[in-house]
Structure 1
Amino acid sequence: MLVRLVFFFSLVGFLSSCEKILEVQRFEGPCTIELVDGRTIVTQFSIEILESTGTITYRDDDGKLWSVKADEYSGYSCGN
């Protein structure tokens, strides 16, 4: 029983530390991403931003996953 308890708390500690490593912010869609070249990307889904790199990850209308690097966009907005 003690081994299971130690394993459980170790697992919880590991999972909480993984969240800190990833540093992902999620914003509920619809979202618009403004690219530095003047184009815009509109997604009806949520976006996620990796804080350490500024990379935005989003899904298109077909459900394909895409990423935009921090130097490729000038801003974003989400919500209705």
Structure 2
Amino acid sequence: MKKGILLLFIFAGVSSACMEIEEISGPCEITILLADGSTRFYEISEDIRRNKKTGVFTYRDENGRLWSTTQDEQGNWFSKSAENGINEVLSISCGDKVYFQKEEEDTGND
């Protein structure tokens, strides 16, 4: 009986963890800010997953490298890869759904 209850708890934990992951089938557009200040826009269409709870994306670029997004304490999003370092994410959109878009800074010069 105890074994059955333990297995039930393990199954429930694994099931809830899997439900937090959203697999995105369509292409997504990501705009990043490079270290030199220029922006790069690219489309990803392979292995796109999003953690619904944290908002973290994982995906593969056109060269098959695995990337993930993380958020810092100030609320800025970054895309990082073990091979290519870290880039600030300006926007992520998939179809008509915008998951993240950094707002333009107000310079106060109206």
TM-score (norm 2): 0.47
Distance in 2 separating the partners of 1:77 and 1:68: 13
Which has the higher relative contact order, 1 or 2, with Cα contacts under 8 A spaced 6 or more apart? 1
List alignment gaps of at least 5 residues for structure 2. Answer: 34-38, 72-76, 79-88, 96-110
Q: CA RMSD in A?
A: 3.1
Instruction: Give the C-alpha shift of residue 48 in structure 1.
Output: 0.8
1:20 matched to 2:36? The reply is no
Structure 1 position 76 matched with structure 2 position 72: no
Aligned mates of 1:20, 1:47 — CA distance in 2 = 19
Same amino acid, percent of matched pairs? 30
User: Structure 1 residues 41, 18: closer, same or farther in 2, change over 3 A?
Assistant: farther
Partner of 1:45: 46
Off by >6 Å, runs of 4+ in structure 1: none
SS at match of 1:20: helix
Cα offset, 1:17, TM superposition: 2.1
Aligned length: 74
Of 23, 30, 33, 1:33 maps to 30
Offset, 1:55? 1.3
Could you report, residue by residue, the CA deviation over 1:9-62 in whole angstroms, capped at 9, with x for unpaired residues?
A: x36x53442232351111113221233x34333212241112232211001223
Compared with structure 1, are the counterparts of its residues 41 and 19 closer, same or farther at alpha carbon in structure 2 (3 Å cutoff)? farther
The alpha-carbon deviation at position 65 of structure 1 amounts to 1.3
- For 1:33, the aligned partner's letter is I
With the length of structure 1 as denominator, give the TM-score of the two structures: 0.59
**Structure 1: any 5+ residue segments left out of the alignment?**
1-5
